[in-house]
Structure 1
């Protein structure tokens, strides 16, 4: 390995050793390693170290940045069939409050999605239904009731999703290829509690394929002035946390979701340097909450309209998309 390093890298190591003669060999080696790792940050923050060309050395000998590094998946409407459970929940909550919720599932889906896109989000659904709820008050009775309902009524996976997760994890393992010296990392990004989705992941035996998660328990640690509405997913902050947890660059991380909010959260995520936000690779799942027609419209912003990099119609199409980026 050392013999193949560039002349510049070997010269820098020798110069470092001369300037630190009293440092123990292992400590010096560790510090050189940290310097090399710091050089990687220069790729995100050009000119940070004032070292020209070292980004290429890092890419060539320490990791292959053009390959996919991580995949973050939404849960509701992407992995789990939770829309059906939402419909059942409102029927149940109406009964618990001596009311009724007679809307059919076919009518519920477009009605629910439309209300979600308006200011207030899911609070609108409760208000329009005349059902008690305060999304900003975690002490409201609706919260423990909903958590219990979800735990007692686990959502099934969309057909083909378990196989997609397994195939991605297996393909991301270390191989004989020396260019991939770190496995592909996978994460769950959801506003659900871990307590509520863990049984659903466990019943499909996929928990072990994921490296980390950002859930309600994590996000609530970042609420400002103890205000629950200050931060909630979809949020760029939740994805910034994901990037940190799986140690992946945004441009080489795939975010798989089913709503335009997921697309919005993937744009210009600030992780390390506010001057260099990172936009993730986006995959829209047309089988989820909003459907293909909505996802294809994209998201209008000051810089134009953002679109998903890929829109897929069934879980079986996810792995082939991931494969494209694993071998670039």
Structure 2
């Protein structure tokens, strides 16, 4: 049987981490004497990794400020990685069903690898994944197809037998460039306009599993 794989984004796809990300951002802003941001504002900044998130939150191009802010963010986020973060409804069940059917699973996130591994472990879903790729695992991050292709290669699966699942334009663009089918998650942090190029749209983790098993990986 041909190996089949699904690559999942993390924040906004499997895990609702926005409250913890907002707390970490506001910890940085407070350290710089700046006013806090509302969760709705932080939501618009998420998606291109924590360094980009900090830079945009601080609204600066100053290298030293970005480096200091990024270090503060990662230290705080690691210490409070899942104070408020939770799996989206149906996420665990979808992962169980897919692995039960022999589908290989991996994470391809723009969150750095150490924090990705930490939150997966704390939420007790790390064992589902054969590979975990963060934004700092390879020289490029999404929307580059490189991390997707490297990860599918590590799983010994071909792009045409691999699906990228995510909530943002970074996920969909990366999947398209990698030659993979894509599923856009409408409950995440990206807007519907970011998902218009996705091959399929899902409104829940249950729908992701249904699309995969009925349309993309039929028995």
TM-score class normalised by the smaller sequence: 0.7 to 0.9
Tell me the TM-score normalized by structure 2.
0.84
Q: Does 1:165 align with 2:95?
A: yes
Q: 2:6 aligns with which of 61, 71, 77?
A: 71
**Given that residues 54 and 66 in structure 2 are in contact (C-alpha distance below 8 angstroms), is that contact kept between their aligned partners in structure 1?**
no
Q: 2:189 aligns with which of 285, 289, 305?
A: 289
4+ long deviations beyond 4 Å: none
CA distance in 1, matches of 2:19, 2:10: 14
1:229-256 CA-partner distances (Å, limit 9, x unpaired): xx33332111110121111111110100
CA deviation after TM superposition for structure 1 residue 281, in Å:
0.9
Q: Structure 1 residues 217 and 94 mapped into 2: Cα distance closer, same or farther (>3 Å)?
A: closer
Question: Which one has more relative contact order, counting CA pairs under 8 Å at least 6 apart?
Answer: 2
Structure of greater Rg = 1
Decide which moves more: 247-256 or 315-324. Answer: 315-324
Q: Does 1:256 align with 2:187?
A: no
Number of positions where the alignment pairs a residue of Structure 1 with one of Structure 2: 213
CA distance in 2, matches of 1:123, 1:139: 7
Alignment of 1:295-306 (within 5 A): 295-296=195-196
Q: Give structure 2 stretches of 5+ with no counterpart.
A: none
Tell me the TM-score normalized by structure 1.
0.58
Q: Does 1:109 align with 2:43?
A: yes
CA deviation after TM superposition for structure 1 residue 123, in Å:
6.2
**Given that residues 72 and 188 in structure 1 are in contact (C-alpha distance below 8 angstroms), is that contact kept between their aligned partners in structure 2?**
yes
Q: Name the Cα RMSD after superposition.
A: 2.8
SS at match of 1:323: helix
CA distance in 2, matches of 1:124, 1:140: 9
Q: Structure 1 residues 104 and 168 mapped into 2: Cα distance closer, same or farther (>3 Å)?
A: same
CA deviation after TM superposition for structure 1 residue 167, in Å:
1.5
CA distance in 1, matches of 2:21, 2:148: 25
